C-alpha cells in the first residue's frame, strides 16, 4: 500500500492551511526527513517532512492552493517495492476525513445525573466517634495533640515518616515534632536542608513510591516555593493516571498570621488549597480536632494539606483518652448550639466566634458556632442545617476577604439556602491589605471580635 500524505494539523488549533510550495515533483525519490512541501498556517510557515522513503507518485493539490482542510490527501508516495506509475489513489482522495468526533458526543455532561456515588475504595471514616460517658479527658496543648497523632500513626504503620526543616535534632521549629527522633530514629524523622521545593518534591515522590510521608513546612508561607508539587504533582496525579497512582501524603505546618512577623510570614492559604480538586484541606481549631484529624489525614490514601496555627499551638483543650480517636475528614462540628444566628469559622477564627457568641449572649442573642474543621471537601450540609434553624449567618475568617472560604460559605447559602435567609449573609475577615508590622496596624488588620459581634447583631437587625 502506498504512503498517503495528508495535510497535517501543525498546531492544536489549525483547521486549514495553504500549500505554499511543493518541494518535490512527481517521480522524485525521497528519503525519510526530506522536505515535501511548505505549508502556511494562520501562525507560521512550516515545512512538511517525509516520514518514510519512496518515490513521489502523485501530487494531488496544486501549489498555491488555499484553505485546504486538515486531513485532505495531498500526495501519494510509492514505497520501495511499489511502482510509482501504478499506485492506487484512494477514491475519497480529496476529501478530508470525517472529523475526529467519535462514538460519544462531547456535550456538557449533566452534572447532577452523572455524579458518582461513593467510591469503591476504602469507605473512609464518615462518622464522629462516640465519646462514652466516663471517658477520661486529658488536658493538652494543640502542639502535644499533633505530636501524639504523628507518634501513634508512626507506631501503627512503618511506612509513615516525618520530613522537614528542623523536625529531628532541633525537635521542631515550633516543637511540634518534639521527641519523635528519640522514639523513631533518623530513618523516620528526617531533617532536610532549607529547600522547600526540593523536599516537597522528594516527599511527594516517596508517596508515589508507596510510603506515607508527613511533610512539615516550617510555615505554609514557605510552602509557596513548593506549591507546584502540592498542586500539580500530589493533587493531580491520581486523576491524570486514571486512578492508578496514589499519593498518600500530609503537608502540614502553621498557617495564617502569627504575631508581628510581617506580611511575608503571615498569610492564610486555606482558600488557595481549598480551590484545588484532588487535595483535601484540613484546618482544625482545638486539640481534640487536631489530634483526631491529623490521624485521619495520615491514614488517608489521598494528599492532605493540614493547616495549623502557631498561635493555637500553646493553647490547651480537653482531648478524650481513647485509642481510636480518629475524626472524620469532611465533617464540620457544631461547637456551640444556638437559635438566633450561625457563626461559621475555622482554625483560630473559631475562638473569635466563640468569644463573640459569649458577648452576644449578654445582648440576648443566642449564637450557634460551627467549626468547619475541613475546608475541602466542605461540609455544606452542616452549614445549611444550621442556617435552616437560625436563618441568619456570619462567616468569620482570619484571612483576606476576596475569594475566601467566607465567600464560598456565602455562595453556598445563596445557592442552596436562599429560602432560609432572613438577612444577607455577612463575612468578617482580615482587612484586605498585606499584614503590617506595627502593633497598632497589625491589630487593625486582623480579624476583630467586635466586628463579629456587630455583624451578628446586624443580621439579627439588632443594632
Partner 1 sequence: MAAKKAANAKDTGGKGEESPSRVRITEARDGIDQVPMPSRHEPSQEELTELYRRMLMIRRFEEKAGQLYGMGLIGGFCHLYIGQEAVVTGVQAAMTDADSVIGGYRVHGHMLACGISPKDVMSELTGRAAGISKGKGGSMHMFSTEHKFYGGHGIVGAPVPLGAGLAFSHKYQEDGGVAVIYFGDGAANQGQVYEAFNMAELWKLPALFIIENNQYAMGTSVNRASAEDQLYRRGESFRIEGMQVNGMDVLDVQGAAETALDWVRGGNGPVLVEYMTYRYRGHSMSDPAKYRSRDEVQDVRTKRDPIEAAKAELMKMGTDEDSLKAIEKEIREQVNEAADFAEQTPEPDLKELYTDVLVGSYG
Residues 34-53 that bind partner 1 (CB under 8 A): 35, 43-47, 51-52
Distance of CA 162 to the CA centre of its chain: 21
Q: Is 70 in the site for partner 1 (CB under 8 A)?
A: yes
In the shown chain, the binding pattern of residues 227 to 266 toward partner 1, with x for contact by CB under 8 A and - for none, equals -xx--xx---xxxxxxxxxx--------------------
Our CB check for partner 1 shows the closer of 109 and 314 to be 109
Q: Which residues pair with residue 164 across a beta bridge?
A: 191, 216
- Interface pick for partner 1 out of 91, 92, 136, 209 (rule CB under 8 A): 209
8 Å CB contact between 194 and 184 = no
Strand-pair category, 280-282 with 45-49: unpaired
Q: Per CB under 8 A, which region of 192-200, 310-318, 346-354, 411-419 contacts partner 1?
A: 192-200
Q: Is 300 in the site for partner 1 (CB under 8 A)?
A: yes
d(CA 438, CA 441): 5
- Cα angle value 303/309/312 (rounded, 5°): 135
CB of 184 to partner 1, least distance (A): 13
Query: Is 229 annotated as catalytic?
Result: no
Q: Is 60 in the site for partner 1 (CB under 8 A)?
A: no
Expressed in angstroms, the distance from the first to the final Cα of the chain is 86
**Angle between helical axes of 405-416 and 380-390 (0-180°, round to 10):** 60
Q: Is 185 in the site for partner 1 (CB under 8 A)?
A: no
Our CB check for partner 1 shows the closer of 306 and 313 to be 306
- Interface pick for partner 1 out of 100, 362, 440, 463 (rule CB under 8 A): 100
d(CA 207, CA 209): 5
CB of 226 to partner 1, least distance (A): 9
Q: Is 195 in the site for partner 1 (CB under 8 A)?
A: yes
CB of 374 to partner 1, least distance (A): 7
Scan residues 124-153 and list those touching partner 1 (CB under 8 A): 124, 126
Closest residue by Cα to residue 266 from 439, 395, 432, 436: 436
Q: Which residues pair with residue 345 across a beta bridge?
A: 371
Strand-pair category, 160-164 with 212-216: parallel
User: Which of 196, 310, 368, 398 is labelled catalytic?
Assistant: 196
- Interface pick for partner 1 out of 18, 374, 390, 429 (rule CB under 8 A): 374
8 Å CB contact between 381 and 333 = no
Backbone angles phi, psi at 372, to 5 degrees: -65, -35
CB of 33 to partner 1, least distance (A): 5
Q: Is 201 in the site for partner 1 (CB under 8 A)?
A: yes
d(CA 29, CA 129): 78
User: DSSP assignment of 263-284, as one string?
Assistant: GGG-B--HHHHHT-TT-EEE--
Query: Is 265 annotated as catalytic?
Result: yes
Q: Is 203 in the site for partner 1 (CB under 8 A)?
A: yes
- Interface pick for partner 1 out of 64, 85, 185, 377 (rule CB under 8 A): 377
d(CA 216, CA 72): 56
User: Which of 29, 265, 359, 451 is labelled catalytic?
Assistant: 265
- Interface pick for partner 1 out of 27, 64, 85, 109 (rule CB under 8 A): 109
CB of 198 to partner 1, least distance (A): 3
Scan residues 301-330 and list those touching partner 1 (CB under 8 A): 301-302, 328-330
Give, for 22, the enclosing helix (H) or strand (E). Answer: strand 16-22
Q: Per CB under 8 A, which region of 55-63, 120-128, 416-424, 431-439 contacts partner 1?
A: 120-128
- Interface pick for partner 1 out of 280, 281, 327, 393 (rule CB under 8 A): 280
Q: Is 115 in the site for partner 1 (CB under 8 A)?
A: yes
Give the three-state DSSP class for 77. Answer: strand
Give the three-state DSSP class for 355. Answer: helix
Active-site positions?
A: 196, 265
Amino acid at each position: 500500500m502506498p504512503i498517503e500524505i495528508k495535510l497535517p494539523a501543525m498546531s492544536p488549533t489549525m483547521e486549514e492551511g495553504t500549500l505554499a510550495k511543493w518541494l518535490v515533483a512527481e517521480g522524485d525519490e525521497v528519503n525519510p526527513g526530506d522536505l515535501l512541501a511548505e505549508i502556511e498556517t494562520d501562525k507560521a510557515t512550516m515545512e512538511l517532512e517525509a516520514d518514510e522513503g519512496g518515490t513521489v507518485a502523485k501530487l494531488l493539490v496544486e501549489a498555491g492552493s488555499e484553505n485546504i482542510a486538515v486531513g485532505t490527501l495531498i500526495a501519494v508516495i510509492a514505497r520501495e517495492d511499489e511502482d510509482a506509475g501504478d499506485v492506487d489513489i484512494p477514491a475519497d482522495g480529496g476529501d478530508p476525513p470525517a472529523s475526529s468526533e467519535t462514538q460519544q458526543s462531547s456535550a456538557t455532561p449533566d452534572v447532577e445525573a452523572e455524579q458518582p456515588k461513593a467510591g469503591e475504595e476504602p469507605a473512609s471514616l464518615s462518622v464522629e466517634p462516640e465519646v462514652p460517658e466516663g471517658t477520661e479527658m486529658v488536658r493538652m496543648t494543640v502542639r502535644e495533640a499533633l505530636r501524639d497523632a504523628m507518634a501513634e500513626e508512626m507506631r501503627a504503620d512503618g511506612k509513615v515518616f516525618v520530613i522537614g526543616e528542623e523536625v529531628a535534632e532541633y525537635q521542631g521549629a515550633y516543637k511540634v515534632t518534639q521527641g519523635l527522633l528519640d522514639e523513631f530514629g533518623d530513618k523516620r524523622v528526617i531533617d532536610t536542608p532549607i529547600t522547600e521545593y526540593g523536599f516537597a518534591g522528594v516527599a511527594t515522590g516517596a508517596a508515589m513510591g508507596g510510603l506515607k510521608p508527613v511533610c512539615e513546612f516550617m510555615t505554609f508561607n514557605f510552602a509557596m516555593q513548593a506549591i507546584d508539587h502540592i498542586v500539580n504533582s500530589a493533587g493531580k496525579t491520581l486523576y491524570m493516571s486514571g486512578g492508578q497512582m496514589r499519593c498518600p501524603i500530609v503537608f502540614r505546618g502553621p498557617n495564617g498570621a502569627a504575631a508581628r512577623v510581617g506580611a511575608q510570614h503571615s498569610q492564610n492559604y486555606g482558600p488557595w488549597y481549598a480551590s484545588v480538586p484532588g487535595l483535601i484541606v484540613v484546618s482544625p481549631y482545638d486539640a481534640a480536632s487536631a489530634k483526631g484529624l491529623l490521624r485521619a489525614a495520615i491514614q488517608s490514601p489521598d494528599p492532605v494539606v493540614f493547616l495549623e496555627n502557631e498561635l493555637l499551638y500553646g493553647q490547651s483543650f480537653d482531648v478524650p483518652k481513647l485509642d481510636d480517636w480518629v475524626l472524620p475528614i469532611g465533617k464540620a462540628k457544631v461547637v456551640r448550639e444556638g437559635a438566633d444566628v450561625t457563626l461559621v469559622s475555622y482554625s483560630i477564627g473559631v475562638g473569635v466566634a466563640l468569644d463573640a457568641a459569649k458577648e452576644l449572649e449578654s445582648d440576648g442573642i443566642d449564637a450557634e458556632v460551627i467549626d468547619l474543621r475541613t475546608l475541602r471537601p466542605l461540609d455544606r450540609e452542616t452549614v445549611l442545617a444550621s442556617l435552616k434553624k437560625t436563618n441568619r449567618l456570619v462567616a468569620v475568617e482570619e484571612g483576606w476577604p476576596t475569594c475566601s472560604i467566607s465567600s464560598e460559605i456565602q455562595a453556598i447559602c445563596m445557592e442552596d439556602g436562599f429560602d432560609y435567609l432572613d438577612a444577607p449573609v455577612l463575612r468578617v475577615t482580615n482587612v484586605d491589605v498585606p499584614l503590617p508590622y506595627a502593633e497598632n496596624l497589625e491589630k487593625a488588620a486582623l480579624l476583630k471580635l467586635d466586628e463579629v459581634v456587630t455583624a451578628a447583631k446586624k443580621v439579627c437587625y439588632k443594632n
